[in-house]
Chains A and B, each alone.
Chain A
């Protein structure tokens, strides 16, 4: 298929964003469940319910990250190369966290011994927490800007990536995922356990909103290139209002007992947050600070028009199918978690 004069660079900026948004919404609740795993419940049966709540879906959810990474590699190779090599140790730590998260789910139930289960519980919880934190820190750095040299290579250091804004974004991401995961758990649990989890939702919402307010203030004060984008294009605020409403709607729906609507609001809020992030960054993919002229943009970091066109064909063929069967799989596994002999 040829796409004529369509601005494929912008299309792929959006599509990479869509893939990563899919990832944070879907794996966000998996990671959130992991963050709460050690804190919220103690008994083995309760922990099994937690793990089985995400059991059938976490793997497919992680594929959004793999595909997002692949799409970034294909559409914007320079961004992929710069960010992955520049964040070397942070990404190695992320891999370690993701590996433990993944295998802990599979391994935990295989032996009854309490020591065995405690070890993999730890792996699952720390892996999830670490993944959420590191994803947030990485996003914080991308929003803040990282030092790039004239060739577009990372010119900073690891300690330089751990500045307060990035850490704040990391904590916010953990809070967001934990809130999202708690709402998901309310949907998947029943009885006493559901009551326990329900108690966690409101404090987590408050924690997230606090973090969000601080991040927003910090962005307004210290990240001028993002605020500049909003000053230039005031209609961007059209996105901010529904995001704030969606966040405000979460506690309302929880208190009305409409957990599914609360979950949808939480998803909508995450879509909105990613959209704000994207609008603020566009047309940069990696903003260079202090030398903005070295930034990696949708034009200087992209693959050829031909490749972007081929990939759009692939995406148009693949994504509808992915959405169709992903939806049917969520439908098959709808409802409360029931532990049976196939369960983890």
Chain B
């Protein structure tokens, strides 16, 4: 394989693995704020127990997120040096802002969140939890802004020509609020909330199936499901907005997502399908006019097809199509599941349906699949560009790095990441099987100040 393919594979492998963890940290971070807030408000020790248990899970995901995140920052320079020179002036400032505003906040207060239970009072601890969650969200902001700039560059001009060309900021806020950044940020956060929320639901449902820790499990399902329902609907709304943005700003990507070969009015929307790239046909179940209506708000309006895009500028069509449709299908599935579970919970019949509980137990996979598929679709759909319409992926490589070097590092990453993933699953399973700690029902240390155990009430 050549150095381009290897470098792309390595980046795909390392970002896909990394992206399993930050969404969990963002979602669980928000849930920790909710649970600990409930504890402070109600003084119900169950919420304290929940906060303790989910903090441990959070710590595990956070540690791997940090360890694999530093790889991403290095890889821009190691494998994509030409890209780094080209975008450093624009992309770098978002990355530096992420470090200064988000990572310090997150990792600093994480210490108090994890180890400060007995060292600080409840309110200070809650503040730390809020700051960790806030930092996790903040890091998403800057990295999605930077990535969105690669999708829809704005607020810059090109200086120099040929190999020395590079983008320079002309308007910082136009760069930050580039045409796709807010849609994509809200959609990414919705996906991250789902990742955390469904994990909580899934663990709760598993305990209910096995008739263990019933109070804890029910509370986990309720709180998790509340966020999951909101986030699933929010995913739909922001996803729709993002797709309309793609239609406006990246027509080639939308055409690939939908396998639309010819520019037409009444463009159809495929529910499922298969793109025959050789014969330029898309087979599947389609709803006529729906794509035009969704993308432009009017089914009579034309949608740009791949025929309007020069061959050299087209992304891989079937691959983008399948990734996008997988994301959408899973997204709707999560809304349906959340609705069903919420209805069952409302009627008090959640624990009667073993099928529903089993589905909820596996629900944790849903947002992970959708997040991965969606992120892959966004990146594959931008090809062959690394910065849309400005710099091709094939022109962005490091000049001095050879295929053998990348092959060596990729083997290293595969071995290390397989080990990490195995250990992560093993430890997560271990924590879940061990369950919440009964001792946590009685807060100790400074947290116990001003707290009366139930029996004495």
Residues of A within 8 A of B (CB): 55-57, 59-60, 62-63, 65-67, 69-71, 73-78, 80-89, 91-92, 94-96, 98-100, 102-103, 105-107, 110-111, 151, 153-155, 303-304, 306-307, 310-311, 314-315, 318-319, 322, 325-326, 329, 332-333, 340-343
> Contacting chain A: which of B75-83, B310-318, B325-333?
B75-83
The listed residue (A74, A95, A306, A318) touching B70 by CB distance below 8 A is A95
Contact A95-B59, Cβ < 8 Å, known A80-B88, A311-B93: no
With A and B bound together, what is the CA distance between A82 and B80 in angstroms?
A: 10
6 smallest beta-carbon distances between A and B, as pairs: A77-B88, A84-B77, A74-B92, A67-B99, A318-B100, A56-B111
Say whether A340 contacts B118, CB under 8 Å.
Answer: yes
A310, B169: Cβ atoms closer than 8 Å: yes
Q: Which of B34-42, B336-344, B405-413 is the interface stretch?
A: B405-413
Chain B contacts with A in 157-178, Cβ cutoff 8 A: 159, 163, 166, 168-170, 172
**A66 with B111: in contact, given A85-B81, A103-B64 (CB under 8 Å)?**
no
Which of B207-215, B363-371, B376-384, B394-402 participates in binding chain A? B394-402
Of the residues B73, B74, B105, B163, contact of A151 by C-beta under 8 Å:
B163
Q: Given A63-B107, A319-B100, do A78 and B168 touch, yes or no (CB 8 Å)?
A: no
Tell me whether A85 and B399 are in contact in the complex, defined as CB-CB below 8 angstroms, given that A73-B92, A333-B115 are known contacts.
Answer: yes
Can you offer 18 A-B residue contacts whose CB atoms are under 8 A?
A59-B111, A63-B104, A66-B103, A73-B73, A77-B87, A80-B84, A85-B77, A99-B71, A103-B64, A111-B430, A151-B399, A311-B93, A318-B97, A319-B100, A325-B108, A325-B131, A329-B111, A343-B115
The interface residues of chain B lying within 8 Å CB-to-CB of A110 are 427, 430
**Given known contacts A60-B107, A304-B168, A307-B169, is B66 in contact with A102 (CB within 8 Å)?**
yes
Q: Are A71 and B99 in contact (CB under 8 A)?
A: yes
Q: In the complex, what residue of chain B is closest to A89 when comparing beta carbons? A: B405
Contact A96 B412 (CB under 8 A): yes
Do A73 and B96 have beta carbons less than 8 Å apart? Answer: yes
* Interface presence of B358 (CB below 8 A): no
- Per DSSP, are chain B's interface residues mostly helix, strand or loop, or mixed? helix
Once the chains bind, are A153 and B400 in contact (CB under 8 Å)? Answer: yes
Cα distance, A325 to B128, chains bound together (Å): 10
Which residues of A lie under 8 Å from residue B103 when comparing CB positions?
A: 63, 66-67
**Whole-angstrom CA separation of A135 from B107 in the bound complex:** 22
Shortest B409–chain A CB gap in Å is 4
The residue among B88, B98, B103 with the most chain A CB atoms within 10 A of its own CB is: B88
- By a CB distance below 8 angstroms, the chain A residues around B296 are none
B89 at interface by CB-CB < 8 Å: yes
Establish whether residues B95 and A103, one from each chain, have CB atoms under 8 Å apart when the complex forms. Answer: no
Which A residues are in CB contact (< 8 Å) with B400?
85-86, 88, 153-155
Distance of B285 from chain A, by nearest CB (Å): 45
What is the chain A residue whose CB lies nearest that of B423?
Answer: A107
Bound complex: CA A107 to CA B56 (Å): 12
Nearest-neighbour CB distance to chain A for B40, whole angstroms, equals: 19
Q: Is the CB of A306 within 8 A of B168?
A: yes
CA–CA, A322 to B93, complex, Å?
A: 17
Contact B82 A81 (CB under 8 A): yes
Residues of A within 8 A of B451 (CB): none
Q: Are A332 and B116 in contact (CB under 8 A)?
A: yes
Query: A65 contacts B70, CB within 8 Å?
Result: yes
Contacts A71-B96, A77-B92, A151-B163 given; indicate if A89 touches B409 (C-beta within 8 A). Answer: yes
> CB distance A92 to B92 under 8 Å?
no
The answer on a CB contact under 8 Å between A106 and B59 is yes
B230 within 8 A of A: no
In this assembly, does B68 line the interface, its C-beta being within 8 Å of a C-beta of chain A? yes
Q: CA of A74 to CA of B73 in the docked complex: distance in angstroms?
A: 12
Q: Which residues of A contact B115 (CB under 8 A)?
A: 55-56, 333, 342-343
Whether the pair A303, B100 counts as a contact (CB closer than 8 A) is: no
Cβ A333 vs Cβ B119 within 8 A: yes
